[in-house]
Every structure is written in structure tokens, then in C-alpha cells.
Structure 1
Amino acid sequence: MYFVNFALDTSLGVVFNWVLLTLLTVWLMQLTSWLAIILTAKLIIGCGIVYCQAVLVDFAVWVFAPLEAHPR
């Protein structure tokens, strides 16, 4: 009985771990590409904000000017 238990545990364990490793590899590739896309988008937006800071501040002042009388 010990041999059957050991053989099944080893065989199924190797297959199970191989499937998990394959899934983990795919997940890591997806995570890496997603992080690269998000980082690129944030850098582009951040550079745009820094480059257009004066215009954006003027626009924000204009948008919120009607609320100036109501600070709450």
C-alpha cells in the first residue's frame, strides 16, 4: 500500500506542480506586460501634466471659480 501511495503521490504531484508552474509562468508574463503598460501610461500622463502645468492650473481655476463663494 505504501508503494501505491508513494507512486500516486509522486506522479500526480509532479503533474500538478508542472501545471501550476505553467500557469504561474503565464501569469507572470501577463503581470509584467500589464505593469509595463501601466507604467508607460502613467509616465506619459505625468509628463503631459508637467509640460502643460500652467494651462491646467488656469483651466482648474476657471472651472472652480463659480464655487469660490461656497468653500464648503
Structure 2
Amino acid sequence: MARKVVTHYAVFHNIGSTSDIAFYYQGGGADSVSGIPFAEAQYIVDLLRNEKPMSYDHALKRLSTYSLEPVGEEE
């Protein structure tokens, strides 16, 4: 499965310190990842809030910027 542009997301924090994240795609469809450690989920949510556009490849479990990023953005 190819990477898809993420337009929306939802985060579910579970009792026991894990989280689930749902990724909703441009053009429809969604995927989710379960059992993510809380600290890692916080990092993923930070990327989703601050980077744009983002893509997700469900087969590889890879979240990435969709285009090249310039060096030295001071983020």
C-alpha cells in the first residue's frame, strides 16, 4: 500500500499508558495503529499538529512529511 496524505487524525489514550491513533486520508479512507506507547504517541501528535502535509504508509507503519523540508526552519 502506498503512502496517503493525512488530513485528520484522532487520538485515544487508553488506561495502562498506551494510545491508539486513527489517520484519515485525503479522498476518504482511514487506518489506525494501536498500542503505541504514550510518549511515542505524543511525538506523533506533535508531528501531525506542526508539520504539513503529512503522509502515512500503513504497510510500513511510516509517518512522513509528504514533500521535502528546507534545512534550518527553526522549528
Please tell me the TM-score bracket, short chain as reference: under 0.3
Query: Structure 1-normalised TM-score?
Result: 0.25
Higher relative contact order (CA 8 A, sep 6+): 2
What is the TM-score normalised by the length of structure 2? 0.25
More strand by share: 2
Higher Rg of the two aligned structures: 1
